[in-house]
Amino acid sequence: MEHTISIMAQAERKVTDTKTIPFGKVPTEHMFIAEYADGKWSNARVTPFQNLVLSPMALCLHYGQTVFEGMKAFVMEDGRINVFRIDKHYARFNKSLDRMCMPEVPKKLFTEAIRQLVSLDADWVPRDADGSLYIRPFMIASEDRIGVKVSDEYLFMIVCSPAYLYYTQPLRVKVETEYVRAAEGGTGMAKCGGNYGGAFYPTSKARAEGFDQVLWTDAKTHELIEESGTMNAMFFIDDKLITPALSGSILDGVTRDSLITIAREKGMIVEERPVTYRELVAAFEAGKRVEAFGAGTAAVVAPIASIVIEGVEYNCYTEQDANMYKLREYLYAIRKGVAPDTHNWNYIIG
Ligand code: COI
């Protein structure tokens, strides 16, 4: 099905010093919106950024039928702009939508919407080495009906905001064994709003105790590391990259996948498998060099300085020569167009 996207651009450009903008605080001048009803998408348009008009009875406000993605655009060394791994983000978006009984977005609509929007707001893509334009595609159930049901109407939207380092300091985290983020068979693999809202309470408690984030464990045994808030969990133990294998309760992180691919190509040993916190304790107690970090679109590679496990704090390796920084540099180089993009990860906007 063909989708024509109308462009309703505003003349006034308001780019400020993007470096001073806190993550996700200031939108670019434009947004994208399309409507779904009667089984089809229509009225796709790029408009000036504006508030929504939504019925207080809209289903998303009551039963949480919402899904989002997080992607980034970069200015490459040659001045062109690329959107990183648009195909994988698209695939994950639709996987999440399917889990939440929401309609698929046609690939051409998704890709073209991002291309038009980012082209129009290209001035907002930071030129600094550590800057990017964060792209937030999302969908909400918009049918106004208080009865509990799958919505028949949806809005698919995209907004953008300049982004720098999500975490500016190495993190202090704790292994969470009381609360869970997701259970096998639940929605953990989907990027739906409820997964994040449900994490606020335990994360706030951890923050009050002096932690930056939690490392979630599985719902059944509380022994298997799942992921960290807003990121996948990854470790280097004795130079081996170890990360929990994907399961129904872990998000299939795009950065996780990119780092694993790069690590394998660089000849590193990579193990995707169950990781228990006891294995981490054993490694720390044996005096092994343990690097721990979160991987995510917003966080990129977020070093973890220490992990508290059953009340004992273990320090992780965060020196300059750590493997995680090497992986991050390789990733930066591909995105900036400095290293060859052998997997066609960069979708060039122009
Ligand atoms: C991302 O990394 O894109 C996320 O969605 C995490 C957070 C900003 C919600």
User: Atom 6 in ligand 1: which residue has the minimum CA distance?
Assistant: 230
Q: Is the CB of 67 under 6 A from ligand 1?
A: no
Closest CA to 20 of 196, 163, 222, 168: 163
Q: Is the CB of 163 under 6 A from ligand 1?
A: no
- Is residue 121 located within the same domain as residue 209? no
Q: pLDDT value at position 12?
A: 72
Domain end residue (candidates: 139, 164, 189): 164
User: Atom 8 in ligand 1: which residue has the minimum CA distance?
Assistant: 298
- Is residue 23 located within the same domain as residue 152? yes
d(CA 87, CA 90): 5
**Does residue 281 surpass a pLDDT of 70?**
yes
pLDDT mean over 115-139: 95
- Is residue 150 located within the same domain as residue 190? no
d(CA 21, CA 307): 30
d(CA 46, CA 8): 6
Domain total of the chain: 2
Looking at per-residue pLDDT, the higher value among 7 and 91 belongs to 91
Examine residue 250 and state whether it is found in any structural domain, yes or no.
yes
- Is residue 56 located within the same domain as residue 182? no
- Is residue 93 located within the same domain as residue 177? no
Q: Is the CB of 296 under 6 A from ligand 1?
A: yes
pLDDT in tens, 209-261: 999 999 999 999 999 999 998 999 999 999 999 999 999 999 999 999 999 99
Examine residue 349 and state whether it is found in any structural domain, yes or no.
no
Pocket test for ligand 1, best of 134, 165, 196, 230 (most atoms within 8 A of CB): 230
Number of alpha carbons in the 13 Å side-chain half-sphere of residue 184: 8
Q: How many A from CA of 196 to the centre of ligand 1? A: 10
Distance, C-alpha 57 to centroid of its chain:
29
- Please give the angle made by the CA atoms of 127, 132 and 135, to the nearest 5 degrees: 140
Examine residue 343 and state whether it is found in any structural domain, yes or no.
no
Ligand 1 atom closest to the CA of 230, numbered from 1: 6
Q: pLDDT value at position 17?
A: 86
Q: How many A from CA of 288 to the centre of ligand 1? A: 31
- 10's CB contacts (< 8 A; 6+ apart) are 29, 30, 48
Q: Is the CB of 298 under 6 A from ligand 1?
A: yes
Ligand 1 atom closest to the CA of 296, numbered from 1: 2
pLDDT in tens, 286-306: 999 999 999 999 999 999 999
Kindly state the tokens that stand for 162.
């300049």
- Is residue 118 located within the same domain as residue 223? no
Domain that holds residue 321: 171-335
Q: Is the CB of 96 under 6 A from ligand 1?
A: no
Q: Is the CB of 230 under 6 A from ligand 1?
A: yes
Q: Dihedral angle at the C-alpha atoms of 191, 197, 201, 205, nearest 10 degrees?
A: 60
pLDDT mean over 166-190: 97
Pocket test for ligand 1, best of 159, 297, 300, 301 (most atoms within 8 A of CB): 297
pLDDT in tens, 61-87: 999 999 999 999 999 999 999 999 999
Q: pLDDT value at position 11?
A: 61
Secondary structure, 3-state, the chain = CCCCCEECCCCCCCCCCHHHCCCCCCCCCEEEEEEEECCEEEEEEEEECCCCCCCCCECHHHHCCEEECCEEEEECCCCCEEEECHHHHHHHHHHHHHHCCCCCCCHHHHHHHHHHHHHHCHHHCCCCCCCEEEEEEEEEECCECCCCCCCCCEEEEEEEEEECCCCCCCEEEEEECCCCCCCCCCCCCCCEHHHHHHHHHHHHHHHHCCCCEEEEECCCCCCEEEEECCEEEEEEECCEEEECCCCCCCCCCHHHHHHHHHHHHCCCCEEECCCEHHHHHHHHHCCCCEEEEEEECCCEEEEEEEEEECCEEEECCCCCCCHHHHHHHHHHHHHCCCCCCCCCCEEECC
**Does residue 111 surpass a pLDDT of 90?**
yes
Domain end residue (candidates: 164, 190, 214): 164
Q: How many A from CA of 165 to the centre of ligand 1? A: 12
Provide the pairing of β-strand 6-7 with 40-48.
Answer: parallel
- Is residue 50 located within the same domain as residue 26? yes
Domain end residue (candidates: 138, 164, 190): 164
Q: How many A from CA of 24 to the centre of ligand 1? A: 10
Most distant pair of Cα atoms in the chain: their distance: 62
Paired with 213 in beta bridges are: 173
**Does residue 92 surpass a pLDDT of 80?**
yes
Query: pTM for the full model?
Result: 0.96
**Does residue 121 surpass a pLDDT of 60?**
yes
**Does residue 14 surpass a pLDDT of 80?**
no
- Is residue 71 located within the same domain as residue 192? no
We report the CATH number of the domain holding residue 216 as 3.20.10.10
Kindly state the tokens that stand for 170.
């190495």
